[in-house]
Chain A
């Protein structure tokens, strides 16, 4: 694949991930996530990993997306979210200092990983690795930044995707099958984790009495 297309793919992936993680409206963030997962499937397909592309499209995009929307209480007939998490914005007041401080753990992991990766040398599979590292960094930062459960699930999925990209970029000729096994397992785990989280959110919502809803903060956003 020519370098320009590759750069474009990486840029689009990172942009979609950033939108997923930092869009203030949850419905939009989840929609961005579905687009992101489809893009990842496209990336797998372009690398010739058809099985992974199919898995990513079905498990990553379709099913995970369905569970995320289920957590928000949105259905085909009822597009507006009505779950009790939908209007709940993060209760932490974010200052630049705090955001930077939370960036530190992400940077630490990235630094460690960068050292290890530089020791491993350049891989033939091109731009996957910087894309994976970028996704990992973004996801880790978002995971440290947000307290909101659904946002953390989204961040977890993005980190997972970053790790899958790094993994496949590392897996050499002889190890592609093992790499696919690991990524396949990882995709199933990510789906199950998201599904459990989504079902839990719904159960918690069902248990909470209506007047006991966690107060929405700053619902002027949208």
Chain B
């Protein structure tokens, strides 16, 4: 599994490490600062500048894709920092850049026309967005625990800052709870790292994987690390903070948070498990039980939720359950099962990221148009806003996992993995989850197709915002047809095999 994460390679290849870091971490930050200074009122300058990091990424992909994974170190005095890039990292970087870019495109109109953001909160929004993109890239590229800790903290604090921007009392209170939870999670993570450092005297993952031997120290360290990370990832018993946080946040920030921020904690947790305790099947099936509970409970709560944003937020809890199934399917399972589950997990991560972001944008458009945040307020929406509802529907197809969407391909692979490993329990979880997600999605549609609705005064949605939601939803749908391409990146020589 170490090879799959690109950690085992001694390939200090032809890649210019500092340049990669400058392009992946420095560029978003710079653009964020620029945005904060200029406060763009239209989308086209954002699109123009947003192409810069994307083209830098394409340059990186051309240098890395298809080849072996590349790793390099950065020395600051006597401190050595480890980095790596491989196919998986490329996929994650691409996902990050896409969702951040789309959120940035959605933001100018949204901030100006919908929430009437103050100049001050606009001036904060852009640098924080750049910082979030940089910290996510840092997490994907990092190959030692110090860098992961820095990235995790940077991301957590930036996310809290972004959630506070609306400045309303309920946003502040939700942000406060999130802040305390994030801080507690980071303390648990740091304690776990301290134990690993104390026991083996090193922090680079590749080195730890070789020297770490099972024992009480490793188990306690992993328990602490996992607890901190799963708290931040809103895994099942630790998920209660998620819905209130989304209820009051701005739409592009919700999209980023559900699409990327939560996934980063999950990514770190899975990476640590597969690198440090690759054979811990019993503990992993414990996480699997949590995953099953998350799928069912999140689905039920989404089905019962009164507010539209709560439906989407609870569905995140449920969909994260699918991702957590990666633990029992990948940790300590036989290679054939693990190969299928590996592909399925990362596809599910990407599919959910795109679909959930699209769904949040569509939800934002619907809430803007009806002026109602309740699901019942959608009555009659099918006639008035076919486009917003269409984007919601297309995103839902991927979320529920109907063909030909990317979500379908991902769930198909996970299903195969569960079948191949004779894990009937996880199979049942997948089936129930699909039924529940269909139920809560169709509940939204049932209200929108109510014909004898009282005519409320509807607001028009700016066409740009509608287009963005639709394009992103279509991407989640149609990427299922070309899933071979990301899969090739994940499996290829760069991703190990």
| Interfacial residues, chain A to chain B (CB-CB below 8 A) | 112-113, 115-116, 119-120, 123, 143, 149, 152, 156, 159-160, 163, 166-167, 169-172, 174-175, 177-179, 181-182, 185-186, 189-190, 192-193, 196-197, 200, 203-204, 207-208
Which A residues lie within 8 Å of B62 (CB)?
A: none
Interface residues on B, range: 35 or more
Interface string of B219-241 (1 = CB under 8 A from A): 11101100000000000000000
Contact A181 to B79, CB < 8 A, known contacts A170-B198, A200-B172: yes
- For residue B169, CB closer than 8 A to chain A, the reply is yes
A-B contact pairs, 18 of them (CB 8 A): A116-B216, A116-B221, A120-B195, A163-B190, A167-B197, A170-B194, A170-B195, A170-B199, A171-B201, A172-B201, A178-B203, A182-B146, A182-B193, A185-B150, A189-B157, A192-B157, A193-B183, A197-B176
A116's contact among B161, B167, B186, B217, by CB below 8 Å, is which? B217
CA distance A194 to B161 in the complex (A): 13
CA distance A28 to B223 in the complex (A): 37
B187's contact among A119, A149, A163, A185, by CB below 8 Å, is which? A163
- For residue B416, CB closer than 8 A to chain A, the reply is no
Contact A204 to B215, CB < 8 A, known contacts A166-B194, A181-B79, A185-B149: no
Give 6 nearest A-B pairs by CB, closest first.
A170-B198, A167-B194, A116-B220, A175-B201, A189-B153, A119-B216
Please determine whether A204 and B146 come into contact, CB atoms closer than 8 angstroms: no
Closest residue to B218 on the A side, CB-wise? A116
Please determine whether B215 and A170 come into contact, CB atoms closer than 8 angstroms: no
CA distance A166 to B169 in the complex (A): 38
Which B residues lie within 8 Å of A174 (CB)?
A: 201-202
Closest residue to B186 on the A side, CB-wise? A189
**Would you list which residues of chain B between 117 and 174 have a CB under 8 Å from chain A?**
146, 149-150, 153, 157, 160-161, 164, 167-169, 172-173
Which B residues lie within 8 Å of A169 (CB)?
A: 198
Contact A207 to B221, CB < 8 A, known contacts A149-B176, A172-B198, A196-B161: no
Which A residues lie within 8 Å of B215 (CB)?
A: 119
Interface string of B90-132 (1 = CB under 8 A from A): 0000000000000000000000000000000000000000000
CA distance A115 to B219 in the complex (A): 11
- For residue B191, CB closer than 8 A to chain A, the reply is yes
Contact A186 to B190, CB < 8 A, known contacts A112-B220, A193-B179, A203-B167: yes
Please determine whether B79 and A178 come into contact, CB atoms closer than 8 angstroms: yes
Please determine whether B223 and A200 come into contact, CB atoms closer than 8 angstroms: no
Which A residues lie within 8 Å of B173 (CB)?
A: 204
B169's contact among A113, A181, A196, A204, by CB below 8 Å, is which? A204
Closest residue to B154 on the A side, CB-wise? A189
Please determine whether B220 and A182 come into contact, CB atoms closer than 8 angstroms: no
Closest residue to B200 on the A side, CB-wise? A175
Contact A197 to B179, CB < 8 A, known contacts A156-B184, A178-B203: yes
Please determine whether A200 and B191 come into contact, CB atoms closer than 8 angstroms: no
Please determine whether A178 and B146 come into contact, CB atoms closer than 8 angstroms: yes
Please determine whether A175 and B197 come into contact, CB atoms closer than 8 angstroms: yes
